[in-house]
Structure 1
Amino acid sequence: MSRLPETGQTLWGFTVTERNTISMLGAETAELFHPFSGARLLYIHNDDRELGFDLIYRTPQLDPLDSNHILEHLMLCSCPKYPSRDVFFDMDSKSYSTFMNGITDNTCTCYPVCSLSMEQLLKLMDVFLCCMEEPDAMKDDRFFRREGLRFELEEPDGELSMLGTVLSEDWGHLTDIQENADSAAAEALYQGQTAANLLGRLHFHYKEMTFEKIKKAYENLYDYSNCLMILYGDADLEAALRFLDENHLSRFKSRSLDLRPWFHEPVAPGFKKIRAESPAYEGSPAIHSSIIDYTADLSGLSHEDVIYMGFLADMMNQDTSPIQRTARSLGLNNVIEVYLDTASQQPSLKFRLQNGDEGQEETFLKAVRQGLMEISQSGIPEALYQAAIKENRLADLLMGETPHLGFHLSEDIGRFWSLTGRTDYYSLYEQSFETFSEDREQAILKRLAAWALHPAASVLSVTVPVPGLAEQLEAERDTWLKEKKAGMTQEELCCLIQETRDFKAWSAADESCLDFLIRPEELPEPEEDPEVFSEVRRGILCFGSPSPLHGIGSYQLFFDLQQLEAEDWKYLTLYQMLLTELDTDRFTVEQQKNMEQELLYDCTFDELYPGREAGENSRPMMSVAWSGLTGDFETGLDFLLDLMTGGNYSDRETILQVIDKYIPDYDMSKGENGPSLAYSLAERCIRQDSRFRYLLNPPEIHGFLKEIQNRLTLEQEHPEDTDARKAGEEVTKRLTGLTQRLVSRRKLVFLASADSEALEDILGSASRILESLNGKTDMKTFSHSLTLPDWDLTPARRTAACTDSPLQEIRVLGDFKDMPEFKGRYLPYLLAAGDKYVKPAVRYQGRAYDSGIDFLLPGSYFTLWSTEDPDIRSTLSVFLQTGKALKNLSITPEDLQGYILSAYAQALLPVGILNNRMRAMRRRLMGISAKYINEMIRDIRRSSVKDKETAAALIDRLLAAGSVSAVGNEKTIRENGELFEEILTLRDTKGGSSAHTSP
């Protein structure tokens, strides 16, 4: 790494004001100030090849209209130097960027971009800055009408409609009870202050929004003196500073904006209790569905104490903490979250009870206060304290594995800077963590718990879902629109009709900008896979890949599932739910939870069934993946196996309590599950692996868990009933048998990545410990008939699912796995179709929040998607015509150059050191050819304009045979029912969810 300038040194109009380090990243930092413009820049210098730049403005929420969010959408639409219909999407679809976004928070607005090319990064920075300086959207209200809010009328007798990208996004959160609970608590705690205004609330304030208010917000907020820039990675600092000064900052004299006072309004002291209503649709569950919050304002604490409070909150969030234990002792068998909320304009400590009911709030508050009292007097139990400290250290060591790390760091720093004016968040964090972890007497922790017992301002809120309120608010909107139209003169109606036509013509125009391109010839070659070796040790198939990271490793086990019986499959979910929830002969539940924190970092369980390309590994498996210190590996693996094999399944009283606590998480009727459900419904039709995973975790699993819940409840209530007791004993028998068949050395596979010295010991320890498991060690393939229910049934190719959501998530998948004629050179044309056809039709001229086309090379498929989309018929029509539309699109060589860059970036995303090695081993295990992937990537650069016709024909064929899914509003789905072969109804008027299928 090159040497950074020293404090006081001046370069290109910037003066270095502070030097620092971030040890966990091996990074040096330099903060620089540009006096003429008032801008600040923080350079975080390490050896990361993925460079990052983030442009951050301090943006207090001065009103409840979501103005800052609309501004974020408007700023990167167009500018005089880069005129376009939407230059953000030009850059996103036609540049060598690995990450790009615009993000509105309650305190700041960020414009991050990442790339592996310094040349590309500088060109994109220029677009960002030119748009900030002179956005066309502040002069042309059509951008506001597209991105924010507009009214449309097609004909005099037609209906007046209200549209807008941000409006669609916000309306899509109408039934989001988490968001509604946050807003209710903030409004009560910070009544009359800017901190009471949370983002994303335009759907409640659409009558008040105007373009003039947006322009005023721009004038109040967007100036370089109210801006922080962050440059990250192994970048050319001097080139960046010269570019910034010569091309931008030297042309704008500072207005000396100081908006920090908005974030430090005095908070009115006192304790409040409130009840808030959250919209829900008829038929949505009202019981066990409320959120209860206790929120304590932290605005009086020092920066260090706020960070300490975050450590304390993490400990209180653990299931073994005094807060959680006290809640259980008071009869609260709910998921309770404790976290530090720094997303608001004032920091707060939040205690949240999920899936609750009105009437529990006083008991919940009592549990919080009793738990805090215990902590203030006795601290946190030592085992939990040490486990939490170690988990935090592990998280810091593994931070480098985070994708697009430059963006994630800048997001945290930007929020801290917006509130404090300081950029040393991570240095302060590291110092605070060391001080906190060395406090063996827990004096800091006890002091803060005592403080939290008596905060100056706090609120106890219960947010209750109200079925039917969503329809009521939609009806109020529709009535208001009718009244608005009725109040318009004939001249105003004619004007709006013409305005609507003009807007659609403008929105359909293909105006784009390509002045930021770099040459595809400069793209790097795909990296070869890291070193991977495999061998059979003691009958265990072991894969290893040495890593340059010392002291930290990643691991994965694959257990064979072929011996499971028909009834076992649906019990797998319950089995995984019960891990760390039942005592074993060696460890209590409390010990297990502490040890999991300490030894099995980010431990995840998953099911998979690789395709035929995996050879003898094409069989059903369960994966367990985790990371940890290499010195802890043997202890961690021993603990994991005890956890997986030793659960006391005779303790059916505890099993019932666990089901009662977590069953709401399996209710797929909740609107927030829409994106993942839409994806899995479509993907199951084209991939054996996805179909297997879906069949093990279908929406119906909620009904199965309710059945077990009812069975165990009946046994608890009527212990004398022989039939009830036998039904309960059957649960124990099934779980015990499943465990014996599942956790076996039969065809067991182990993966490990660690430093070379530790890796050999890890593989040796793993094979020795795993050899002791039951089962044969024969690695040969043997015939087995899968007994999973519905395994032989072909899934419906077009499926919809009705959930508690106002809008839809729509997916169409095209599978090119068995199409050898589909080459990498056609991938840029997918992105071209998304940019020039799909997005304009579905987002600009349609009503969806967003839409586009993505591809996944290892999976050999592509996805057409829309999110928060009120339309189904028109969107699916657009999607399915994409191939034909591509044939007629005008795509210049310069256009194609941009799509090549973007496709290359999407295909070759950077990954962390350990993740790269684990991925290589998984691909080897599953028969995914690295040679095929790399050849596809190389072939992207061979794309030419003469490939368009072939690409269009192949894409058309793939879409005609592709899978379709839509998840969302039941009324809209039923109105378009003939588009689907199967409709799943996930909503149940009896207070839960079930899955009913109709043709």
Structure 2
Amino acid sequence: MNTFTDHNNPGLNSGDRIGDYCIKRVVELKEISSFFYELEHTPTGARHVHISNDDKENTFSVAFKTVPSDSTGVAHILEHTALCGSEKFPVRDPFFSMLKRSLSTFMNAFTASDWTMYPFSTQNKKDFYNLMDVYLDAAFFPNLNMLNFKQEGHRLELDGEELVYKGVVYNEMKGAMSSPDQVLGRSLLNALYPSTTYRHNSGGEPAVIPTLTHEQLTAFHKQHYHPSNSFFYTYGNLPLKDHLSFIHDKILKKFERIDPKTDVPSQPRWDRAKVVSYPYPLGPNEDPVKKYQVCVAWLLADIKDTFEVLVISLLEHILLGNSGSPLRKALIDSELGTALSDGTGFDADNRDTYFVCGLKDVEESAAEKIEKIIFDELKNLADKGIDPKLIASAIHQVEFHHKEITNTPYPYGIKLLLFFSGSWFHGGDPVRILRFDDDFKHLNEELAKGPFFENRIKTCFLNNPHRVLFKLTPDQLMEQKENERVRTELEHIKSGLSPAELQKIKQDAEALAKLQESGEDLSKLPTLEIEDIPPSVHIVKETDLKLESGDSEAGEATSNFQFPISIYQQPTSGIFYFDSAAGAGGLRKEMLPLVPFFCYAFSKVGTARRDYIEMARLIDAYTGGVGLSVHARNNFGETRDCLPFIGFTGKCLVRNLDKMFDIMQELLYEFNFSDLTRLKSLLLQYRAGLESMIVHNGHGLAISLASRNFSVTRALSETWNGVHQLQTIKKITTDLTDDKLKAFSDDLMSIGKSLFIGNNFKVAMVGEQGALYDAMPLTSKLLADSRQQTSGMGFLPPAITLGDQIPREGWSTSSAVSFVAQAFETVRMDHEDSPVLSVISKMLRSLFLHREIREKGGAYGGFSMYNPEDGLFCFGSYRDPHIVSTLNVYDNAGDFIKSGNYDSEDVKEAILQVCSEIDKPDPPGPAARKAFYRKIISLSDEAREHFKKQLLTLTRDRVIKVAERYFDSSRKQAVAVISSEEKLKAANEKMADNPLKLYRI
């Protein structure tokens, strides 16, 4: 008799039928308090996995194996085009329209090397089925018309007399292939999988994208987006039967089974290793000598072999997992490069998994040396053995991260799907991945027999001929050559066009512009109403933890304790979280730019008692992470000033409480930056990380640059997180002598001594009741060990003087696309206009900027953001082919929002978007941390609730009045653009009367 007790789906058992579905398996997942259902739709062969639990944040996804046979980007362009209207919802952009009509906590679509996925999450049942209806129709019955293909994929247009390429995906991939890590990742697949689909760039090579035809796109959809090639996934507390009935009635009953022919074969293995080299674009002003990347990459196990995948995941952690890991240490200690190469680690997303390790910022001649270091270290480990503590630590890390529930970067239901989907799509068993106890039991049996991991090093690496020595080579002429190639190609195309064909290009451009400008009836799309939004906000209350009479030790510890502790009793699945904040406002002005690196290096540099290797291994063996982070916030209390603080956090399994507090105690009171060799290594790694973020986060960095002179908080944020942080580190790392390092080490020690004193701490504990009782005396002891007493003098504004100029700047870097930002001041959250400004930011993005910057301009994204904490309103664009026209769009945004050329439904949709962000759920640990940080900056739950209630009463007339108040030409507008030097100079020629002041990143 079945003993399952899934109260969401009572009475469902293996072998049962639900309409045309057969339940193949029902499995209890005790580790995550869930039930797993695996089903097949018999007539079509559609697969369905459902995970049932008490989570109100329900998730849906439909995915398809998409197996490109070229680098035209057909799968990627199809993903975009499928979301441009469908049979039931024939509107121009139902995906972006539903972002406005929903309370979704996540909506997106992904294209990987061999699959495409359409997932969403929401806490609202009505919303769930609204979104599923739109997603299903978009995937299976899209309107793949020619104009949408031209907009999202590629098209020819006339710019004056010149022919140019345009298209959202075309520009997105131009931006992506400007980034060394993207080039390396795509090139590695090309090198390792020369015989399978992975050799192609599924996102699309900019040089190849224009060869894709509309006919090829529609044929690809017909073959790949079919139920017989589909993988459905649902998660949460809604009943499974309702999901199945909905999917069957809307989609599956209209199809019959086919053979989609999308199986991906295993890559035939080589009998000898290869050496390969691929170029990437480097700016003409950068020194190319140490801008190479070198790595060794091996093809490994079949993704369906869950035991081997687990073993190699553990090997990855043993070899590379922390700064004390032997292979990582050997590479970094060589000083041949600054950091591990892009792509380093184990990748288990493809049919055949692979492993990469190497170094970045190296000289070309270092390739063979790096290869020798890697093989020497692997051979040494295989011959002499691996420290058992490294193995235990790796197993602990896997256990911890399986147990911890997080929503970063995706909701938990989507994270679970991504955890097993790669294997599932290729015929693997999701349950084996979700219930890893059997594989761990097998592992322990193998470990008992002898040198298990040592033997795996031999088979996976030393004796595996399917590997490449890979070199990524900087090419300072690459962008210029590509621009010239495109120019020549377009001239050749134009020379072969008849007058009628040129006229057709003009007519297509006019038709697309007309389509983009046209109003449309969105009433066909489902929507939520204001009444569907709860007026409350999620509140995480502190717990009044009453110590029982038997807890004499805890009581004694707290009676002498001068630090108030915020206690949050939360269901954290056996994990304890320690959160604290040290005020940073008392630091000397010259020390402030060094604080982010201080935080980065703090737990990586060792202590007075242990070197960094011992410390790294100790942290991994007993915690889920211990470290520092910087926070530049605004106070909502009486002073309303900038409130900078350093977060000191740790998390562990409850059984390791004592060990974690011992580690934190040692870090806090015995920190030591005297190992200059280690300090230099960390500086170079930190710099490499900052440099790699430029192209990935160009929009955020541009906004930070534009915003920095509006407030002390924004100035500090730029100092800590922006381009100026990179410039600080570049200056420090230029000509790093021992004397310079010693002085820097002294500065870091000074920062620590200023921060970690007396009651310059605010403290929180998060966990289940037993853990909180056990942690109370440990927390008391940790902070009672302070040698000095202050009055929390670090929780005050920093010693920063604002610049007197409102920026209008261009910052050059190696990029084929631009990131354009504009910012101006408004009012903060406690002002009556604040909720309206939040709504205006959403309206401008969805009603104006999306059309002007993405659809017309071809940028990947255009957006507006209002920050109620400091009152700054910002515009930004991402992977943008334009600069001047985008700035003109920003200038026209005010006219649009003041015009009232929108209706009450548009206002309602913007309110839904803001409320969706407010109501986005967090797992117990992060939710409590956010509550603790709100307490630090004096942002009350009453203020948050008042803000939301004001939102729900907004009218169109109120929006227009507030828009007239803040969107006027006399308001100071700051501008910052990150792009190539060539593009910035060209933009300045067009803006000769008001040019950008140019800088180099």
* Equivalent in 905, 908, 926 of residue 915 of structure 1: 926
Aligned equivalents of 1:688, 1:787: Cα separation in 2 = 9
Summarize the alignment of residues 227-238 of structure 1 with structure 2, pairs less than 5 Å apart: 227-238=230-241
Separation in structure 1 between the aligned mates of residue 497 and residue 437 of structure 2, nearest angstrom: 61
2:532 match: 522
Match of 1:335 among 333, 339, 342: 339
Where do residues 95-244 of structure 1 align in structure 2 (5 Å cutoff)?
95-137=102-144, 140-153=145-158, 158-244=161-247
Counterpart of 2:550 in structure 1 is: none
Distance (Å, rounded) in 2 between the aligned partners of 1:493 and 1:560:
65
Quote how far apart the aligned CAs of 1:937 are.
1.9
Preserved CA contact (<8 Å) 1:334 1:353: yes
The answer to whether the Cα contact below 8 Å between 1:304 and 1:428 also exists between their aligned partners in 2 is no
Do residues 986 (structure 1) and 1000 (structure 2) align?
yes
CA root-mean-square deviation: 3.0
Q: 1:86 Cα deviation (Å)? A: 1.1
Secondary structure of the residue aligned to 1:816 is coil
Tell me which residue corresponds to 1:719. Answer: none
Tell me the CA shift for residue 787 of structure 1: 4.0
CA distance in 1, matches of 2:104, 2:673: 51
Partner of residue 63 from structure 1, selected from 63, 70, 89: 70
Label 1:673 to 1:127 Cα distance change in 2 as closer, same or farther (>3 A).
Answer: closer
User: 1:347 is matched with which residue?
Assistant: 353
Q: Does 1:904 align with 2:908?
A: no
Superposed CA deviations along residues 81-135 of structure 1, whole A, max 9, x for unmatched, are 1011111111122222221111100121000011111221112111111222221
CA distance in 2, matches of 1:984, 1:385: 52
Q: Distance in 1 between the 2:221 and 2:538 partners? A: 47
Change (3 A) 1:860 1:551: farther
- Aligned equivalent of 1:809: 819
**Corresponding residue for 1:835?**
846
Given that residues 753 and 917 in structure 1 are in contact (C-alpha distance below 8 angstroms), is that contact kept between their aligned partners in structure 2? yes
* Mapped pair 1:404 → 2:411: yes
Counting only pairs closer than 5 Å after superposition, residues 726-875 of structure 1 correspond to structure 2 as 729-779=742-792, 786-788=798-800, 791-794=801-804, 796-813=806-823, 815-817=826-828, 820-824=831-835, 827-857=838-868, 862-875=873-886
Q: CA deviation at 1:712?
A: 4.4
Equivalent runs, 1:554-633 vs 2, <5 Å: 554-615=577-638, 619-633=643-657
Deviates more, 1:604-613 or 1:379-388: 604-613
Letter in 1 for 2:691: D
For 1:141 and 1:647, how far apart are their aligned partners in 2?
Answer: 63
Structure 1's 179 and 929: CA in aligned 2 closer, same or farther, altered over 3 A?
A: same
The separation in 1 between residues aligned to 2:150 and 2:490, in whole angstroms, is 16
Q: 2:400 aligns with which of 389, 394, 397?
A: 394
For the residues of structure 2 that align with 1:881 and 1:242, how far apart are their CA atoms?
Answer: 48
**1:654-669 to 2 correspondences below 5 Å:** 654-667=678-691
Kindly provide the CA deviation profile for residues 522-568 of structure 1, in whole angstroms up to 9, marking residues without a partner as x. 22343442222699963324222221335312222222334433443
Q: CA deviation at 1:773?
A: 1.7
Q: Please, which moves more after superposition, 695-704 or 672-681?
A: 695-704
Letter in 2 for 1:521: E
1:650 positional shift: 4.0
Deviation at residue 585 of structure 1 after TM alignment? 3.0
Alpha-carbon shift at residue 819 of structure 1 (Å): 7.2
Q: 1:450 aligns with which of 453, 458, 463?
A: 458
Residue of structure 2 in register with 1:952 after alignment: 963
Separation (CA, whole Å) in 2 of partners of 1:863 and 1:683: 8
Distance 1:856 1:435, change over 3 A: farther
Contact 2:661–2:778 at 8 Å: present in 1 too?
no
**Residues 98 and 905 of structure 1 are in contact (CA less than 8 Å); yes or no, is this contact kept in structure 2?**
yes
* Structure 2 residue corresponding to 1:23, chosen from 30, 43, 52: 30
| Distance across 1 between alignment mates of 2:916 and 2:458 | 51
Q: 1:903 to 1:106 in 2, by over 3 A?
A: same
One of 493, 497, 513 as aligned partner of 1:488: 497
Distance 1:118 1:58, change over 3 A: same
**Matches of 1:141 and 1:352 in 2, distance apart?**
45
* CA deviations over 1:392-450 (Å, ceiling 9, x no partner): 22212212454511122223333222222544353354533454367544754233212
CA shift in 2, pair 1:823/1:336, >3 Å: closer
Shift of 1:454: 1.6
Structure 1 CA distance for aligned equivalents of residues 192 and 833 of structure 2:
58
Aligned residue type for 1:461: F
953-962 vs 279-288, which moves further: 953-962
Q: How many matched pairs?
A: 968
Letter in 1 for 2:815: S
- Measured in 2, the distance between the counterparts of 1:538 and 1:973 equals 58
Mark the CA change 1:421 to 1:655 in structure 2 (over 3 Å): closer, same or farther.
closer
Q: Does residue 928 of structure 1 match 2:942? A: no
Give the letter for the 2:650 counterpart. Answer: W
Distance 1:150 1:339, change over 3 A: same
TM-score (norm 2): 0.90
Find the counterpart in structure 1 of residue 717 from structure 2.
693
The alpha-carbon distance between structure 1 residues 449 and 353, as it changes in their structure 2 partners (threshold 3 A), is same
**Equivalent residue, structure 1, for 2:16:** 9
CA contact (8 A) 1:508 1:845 kept: no
Q: Deviations over 1:924-977 (max 9, x none)?
A: 111123222222223333233443422432452599455443222222223334
Counterpart amino acid of residue 516 in structure 2: S
Measure how far apart 1:154 and its partner are.
5.4
Amino acid of the structure 1 residue aligned with 2:38:
E
What is residue 968 of structure 1 aligned with on the other side?
979
Instruction: Tell me the SS of whatever aligns to 2:296.
Output: strand
Change (3 A) 1:696 1:981: farther
SS at match of 1:833: helix
Report if the CA contact (8 A) 2:674-2:745 is conserved: yes
Measured in 2, the distance between the counterparts of 1:600 and 1:981 equals: 52
Q: Is the 8 A contact 1:812 1:865 kept in 2?
A: yes
Q: What is the letter of the counterpart of residue 539 of structure 2?
A: D
Match of 1:291 in 2: 293
Amino acid at match of 1:233: G
Shift in alpha-carbon separation, 1:802–1:755, aligned structure 2, 3 A: same
Compared with structure 1, are the counterparts of its residues 801 and 964 closer, same or farther at alpha carbon in structure 2 (3 Å cutoff)?
same
Read off the aligned partner of 2:143 and give its amino acid letter. Answer: D
**Partner of 1:367 in structure 2?**
373
* Structure 1 pair 492–711 and aligned structure 2 pair: CA distance change class (3 A): closer
Note if contact 1:168-1:849 (Cα within 8 Å) is conserved in structure 2.
yes
Say which is worse superposed, 289-298 or 420-429, in terms of deviation.
420-429
Letter of the 1:193 counterpart:
T
1:538 and 1:771 in contact (8 A); partners too: yes
Aligned positions of 1:413-562 closer than 5 A? 413-420=420-427, 422-424=429-431, 426-427=433-434, 429-433=436-440, 435-436=442-443, 440-441=447-448, 443-452=451-460, 453-514=462-523, 515-532=525-542, 538-549=561-572, 551-562=574-585
Cα distance in 2 for partners of 1:655, 1:321 equals: 17
Quote the offset at 1:499 in angstroms: 2.2
CA separation in 2, counterparts of 1:251 and 1:95? 28
After TM superposition, the structure 1 = structure 2 runs for residues 640-659 of structure 1, keeping only pairs within 5 Å, are: 640-659=664-683
CA deviation after TM superposition for structure 1 residue 41, in Å: 1.1
Cα distance between partner residues in 1 of 2:586 and 2:506 = 67
- Structure 1 residue 293, shift from structure 2 partner: 2.1
1:281–1:804 Cα contact (<8 Å) kept: yes
- Superposition deviation, residue 655 in structure 1: 2.9
Q: TM-score, normalised on structure 1?
A: 0.91
Deviation at 1:816, TM superposition (A): 3.1
Q: Secondary structure at the match of 2:162?
A: coil
SS of structure 1 residue aligned to 2:364: coil
Separation in structure 1 between the aligned mates of residue 300 and residue 962 of structure 2, nearest angstrom: 57
1:26 Cα offset (Å) = 1.2
CA distance in 2, matches of 1:230, 1:445: 35
Cα pair distance change 1:961/1:638, threshold 3 Å: farther
Q: 1:72 Cα deviation (Å)? A: 0.4
